Structure formats: C-alpha cells, structure tokens
Amino acid sequence: MLPRQDLYPGYDVLAKRDGPSWNAKTRAVLDERLAIGPEMRRFFDEAEWMTLKALAARIVPQPADREVPVPVAALVDYKLAIGEHDGYRDATMPDEREAWRQGLRALDAEARAQFGARFHELSTWAQDELLKLAERGELTDAAWASMPSKLFFKHRVLGDVVKAYYAHPTAWNEIGWGGPASPRGYVRMDFDRRDPWEAAEAKPGREDEAYAENLRVGD
C-alpha cells in the first residue's frame, strides 16, 4: 500500500463551480452540503456524537494538517436527520436510525467492558481492535441486542461513513475526480488523456507542471 499523498497538487474542484460543468441544481445541492459544519448535529445525542466522531476518524482518517477537515460525522447525522434511506435492510437489522443508535451504544459498552473507558477515550490502536472484532462479527455484548455487529459494521459503519466522506469536494480533490459535469461533460476519453478542466496527476519530478495545470481547471 502506497501512503496517501498529494497526488493532484493545487486541484480544487470548486474552482469549476461557476463554469459550464455545474448546473444551477448542482450548485444549490453543494452549497447546502458545504454549509454543514463539523459540529452540526440534529439526530445524535451527545454521547453518541462523541463515539461517532471517533469512529469516523478511524474509518476515513484525514491528514492532521488539513485546515478544514471533511465533517464526516455531521454528514452522517444530516442523512439520518432528513430521513434518507437505503431502501432495504437485512431481516436481522433494525431500521437505519435505530441501528445507528444501538450500534454506537454497543461500541461504547464494548469499550468499557474490554478497556475500561468509552470508545472515544481509547487509543486508536484499541479502537481499531474493537472495529476489527465488529467487522468479523465477534462483538456480542448484550447491548447489541439481536443486531449482528458484523452487519452493523458492514451496512452502517462502512456504508454511511465512507459515503459521507466521498460526498465531499475535499475528498474528490484528493482522488482527482472531475466532479460535477453537467452540462459540459468531457471530450477526451482515451488512455492518458485529460480535458483541461480535469485534475492533473503529479508525475514524479514533474509536480510543478501538474500544479500549474490544476490552477487552470476553472478557466
């Protein structure tokens, strides 16, 4: 595994906001999302919130020096507060909202039982140990009730947290995705071709070229 790096230096998908790649609806949707602050919380209570934030930091860790981190927990909260649904659930799972509340409570209970502190107070090593047990379905504290920890981890933790992070322009910059693309779309489709409004990847030794290209995507 290569470590995370600054692969698309200087690229900011938001530079295209007022150009032909963003229609009015897209602007409205992204304005709403970008207005969600890190402490905006309507659905979770205080205790759940602490656990969720710690959990999100392990599932989609962000660089320590990132000035404005993606508000992952707030994005998950927002989804639950407006009642957005997946449209299905395993017969052994409660609905999304209940599953989240129960799962966060259960993670905290496991943290107390196994390490004597709440989940968010644990070291990242201990947090990961618990999450790996959940991933394998090996957490079985009574607080889980009938919900399998494995399905909570797969459907709720991975599903909702990962999708929340990759719904944010900061994450799009990090992976060099073109972002919203209506109505302009794209023209160059072949191997190793990019349109001038797409992110330029830094090739070893030529990072400056990529940086200069990336400052022009909004032109």
User: Is 24 a residue that touches other proteins (CB under 8 A)?
Assistant: yes
User: Is 89 a residue that touches other proteins (CB under 8 A)?
Assistant: yes
Contact track, other proteins, 138-177, x by CB under 8 A:
----------------xx--xx--xx-xxx---xx-xxxx
98-127 residues in contact with other proteins (CB under 8 A) are none
- DSSP letter, residue 201: P
| Out of 39, 117, 186, 206, the residue judged to bind other proteins by CB under 8 A | 186
| Out of 18, 98, 145, 182, the residue judged to bind other proteins by CB under 8 A | 182
- Please give the radius of gyration of the chain, using alpha carbons only, rounded to the nearest integer: 20
CB of 46 vs other proteins, minimal distance in Å:
25
- DSSP letter, residue 120: G
Helices 46-59 and 72-81: crossing angle, nearest 10°?
Answer: 120
| Tokens at 43, concatenated | 């659905």
User: Is 85 a residue that touches other proteins (CB under 8 A)?
Assistant: yes
CA 43 to chain centre: 18
Report angle CA 172, 175, 179 to the nearest 5 degrees.
35
CB of 159 vs other proteins, minimal distance in Å:
6
User: Is 179 a residue that touches other proteins (CB under 8 A)?
Assistant: yes
| Tokens at 65, concatenated | 């020096």
| CA–CA dist 25, 19 (Å, integer) | 13
Dihedrals φ, ψ of 24, to 5°? -60, -40
CB of 26 vs other proteins, minimal distance in Å:
4
CB of 130 vs other proteins, minimal distance in Å:
13
User: Is 18 a residue that touches other proteins (CB under 8 A)?
Assistant: no
- DSSP letter, residue 73: H
Element (H, E) at 169: helix 169-175
| Out of 35, 65, 88, 116, the residue judged to bind other proteins by CB under 8 A | 88
CB of 184 vs other proteins, minimal distance in Å:
7
| Tokens at 59, concatenated | 């599932």
| Tokens at 71, concatenated | 């508000």
Q: Which residues bind other proteins (CB under 8 A)?
A: 1-5, 7, 20-26, 28-30, 33, 58-61, 79, 84-91, 95, 128, 131, 135, 154-155, 158-159, 162-163, 165-167, 171-172, 174-194, 198-199, 201
